[in-house]
Amino acid sequence: MSVIYLLLSLSILVAIIFFIAFIVSVKKGQYDDSYTPSVRMLFDDELVKEETKTNN
């Protein structure tokens, strides 16, 4: 039974560490890029066309 308490406390500790790491990364601006993903699909075709023009 003591093993269950040990594993439960360790899993809660690991979850708290990951939560703190997530909060720190949000505060440092890790997830602030909201523009690039929305327009990335628009510019993929132009990159392919430029590569085919340079290859010919």
pTM of the entire structure? 0.57
CB-based contact 25:31 (threshold 8 Å) = yes
pLDDT above 90 for 51: no
Cα-based distances in Å from 48 to 11, 42, 51, 54: 47, 11, 5, 10
Report the distance separating Cα 11 and Cα 37, nearest Å. 34
Q: What is the amino acid identity at position 5?
A: Y
pLDDT tens by residue, 1-43: 899 999 999 999 999 999 999 999 999 988 887 777 677 777 7
Give the confidence band of 47 by pLDDT, cuts at 50, 70, 90: low
